[in-house]
Amino acid sequence: MMDGSMMGWAWVWPVLLLIGLALLGYLVFRLAQSRGSAGAAPGGGTRSEGSPGTRSSAQQILDERYARGEIDEAEYRRRRDELA
């Protein structure tokens, strides 16, 4: 039997259940969103190697390596010319 002091906590379980369901729904949404954007380019559009105005992933990697100092300018220019 429940006495009067325990009846005040009866609302906690439904609230916790709703919070848990909301978190679960949010996680499912984020997972679906991340799987849907796996082929998207960092700029937000989908990656297309041949379309003008977009860089290939190889060019992007080359730019990043040069920016980090992994390759010098001569190597960067030589590889960039090979990609073009």
One pLDDT digit (tens) per residue for the chain, 84 residues? 556 666 777 889 899 999 999 999 999 999 988 887 665 555 544 444 454 455 678 899 999 999 999 999 999 999 999 988
pLDDT confidence of residue 35: 81
Q: Is the dihedral of CA 26, 28, 29, 35 positive or negative?
A: positive
Contacts of 1-10 with CB under 8 Å at 24 or more apart are none
Measuring CA to CA, which residue among 72, 44, 47, 73 is closest to residue 60? 47
Q: Model-level pTM?
A: 0.39
